[in-house]
A and B are shown apart, each in its own frame.
Chain A
């Protein structure tokens, strides 16, 4: 459908006015909200994600696209709730305690939202207890943690340990990422996955939900 393609193009171009206007138009025409979401907004963000991965565009372009996507999402959300359309799943995200670097984490949040996940973003400097408690309270199946500093990444281990202590390991899965965090470190601390970059984080989260 041409209109949905235009919505996707609006997202790619970061044109929030166009996306809001076209999304409203699609709703008025009776297009199912889930279809507008999948073939318009998410399709657009998929293009953005691919171009970002290929270094054709940069972080600000992704964030402008995200703003455009939200403009459409604001209109769709009440309709999706009304129709009982579930999200892909809930993910608790945050930068680990002692660390304030959150550009990467914010990018992962956007890409996950763009892929249809519900994100509970706890911001930066998040304690292990808060990660786990929020996941329990919100019924989130995945906790995503980010760290830039080598001196703070050890706190990620505490989150994994806390989940094990509370017998939640396997029920709530963990994914770690950030400049200082490697695949080997993720394995060492017992995390379920490592996101090398935002795009791979989204793929890993999808796999984690598939495994649950």
Chain B
């Protein structure tokens, strides 16, 4: 699959709880009217400024090995290095919400309008994640019906092929890996550029690799060396949802 795509604001509008989670508000917390109003204002701003786009490009294992190697600064061992040699379907991807929403967030922070700036920042972060989820789903759909990893007859649900995304900067894949990823994917056509620090412009963007493999391949433990320095362990939630979401591809 090689494709560019655009999403409507509504298609990738984040759920209230995913935004509130980023704001540190638990699901059971009583939320004040003014915070709910702030969220509504942030959603309005989001709709007025978002321009969600993405692109995906299939890549061979050999080519991805070079991309993943990056500048040789990855942790080892690391999950992506353990997983990708065992799969047949890999694709580089990038998504962005466009420059206007990031500019709006920056303007609001500079104006000391911190509450709305922070809420919009969380809305945008959650929307960027959702855009990447949409792309992940599209990639999974594109694989449906022509996967080479057909399990044995009678294989249970666990042997389904599943797509999960991984990004430089996380889980031992050093953020400097962005450079080779950019060299290969060329996401400039959707307006992305790379800073010298390897952060993307616009900031509300995500890049990485989509890996389609047997679901159990993605179920890595969180006991790598770098995991002890990670407080979020966000991988656990991503793996958990993998068991439930629609991205699991019927072989």
> Would you give the shortest CB distance from A75 to chain B, in whole angstroms?
14
A-B pairs, top 9 by smallest CB distance, nearest first, are A63-B115, A179-B231, A63-B114, A150-B229, A60-B35, A58-B25, A98-B197, A64-B115, A59-B23
Q: Is the CB of B199 within 8 A of A125?
A: yes
Listed in ascending order, the chain B residues whose CB lies under 8 Å from chain A are 22-25, 29, 31-32, 34-35, 38, 109, 112-115, 118-119, 121-122, 168-170, 172-175, 195, 197-199, 203, 226, 229-232
For residue B226, which residues in chain A have a CB less than 8 angstroms away from its CB?
A: 150-151
A124 to B204, CA, bound (A): 13
Q: Is the CB of B229 within 8 A of A98?
A: no
> Would you give the shortest CB distance from B247 to chain A, in whole angstroms?
25
Tell me which residues from 50 to 99 in chain A have a Cβ below 8 Å from any Cβ of chain B: 58-61, 63-64, 66-67, 70, 97-99
For residue B121, which residues in chain A have a CB less than 8 angstroms away from its CB?
A: 103
Q: Is the CB of A179 within 8 A of B232?
A: yes
How big is the A interface, by class? 20 to 34
Q: Is the CB of B199 within 8 A of A100?
A: yes
For residue A148, which residues in chain B have a CB less than 8 angstroms away from its CB?
A: 232
Q: Is the CB of B25 within 8 A of A59?
A: yes
The answer to whether residues A66 and B114 also contact, given A103-B121, A149-B169 and a CB cut-off of 8 A, is yes
B230: contacting residue among A97, A99, A180, CB under 8 A = A180
For residue A179, which residues in chain B have a CB less than 8 angstroms away from its CB?
A: 230-232
Q: Is the CB of B197 within 8 A of A125?
A: yes
A180 to B169, CA, bound (A): 12
For chain A, what secondary structure do more than half of its interface residues adopt (helix, strand, loop), or is it mixed? loop
Cβ proximity bits A98-117 to B, threshold 8 Å, 1 near / 0 not: 11100100100010000000
A6 to B109, CA, bound (A): 27
A151 to B199, CA, bound (A): 12
For residue A152, which residues in chain B have a CB less than 8 angstroms away from its CB?
A: 169, 175
Q: Is the CB of B114 within 8 A of A67?
A: yes
A14 to B109, CA, bound (A): 17
Tell me which residues from 20 to 74 in chain A have a Cβ below 8 Å from any Cβ of chain B: 58-61, 63-64, 66-67, 70
For residue A18, which residues in chain B have a CB less than 8 angstroms away from its CB?
A: none
Q: Is the CB of A149 within 8 A of B170?
A: yes
For residue A14, which residues in chain B have a CB less than 8 angstroms away from its CB?
A: 34, 115
A185 to B231, CA, bound (A): 13
Besides the known contacts A148-B232, A150-B230, 7 further A-B residue pairs in the complex with CB atoms under 8 A apart: A60-B119, A70-B112, A97-B197, A98-B198, A124-B199, A127-B197, A180-B231
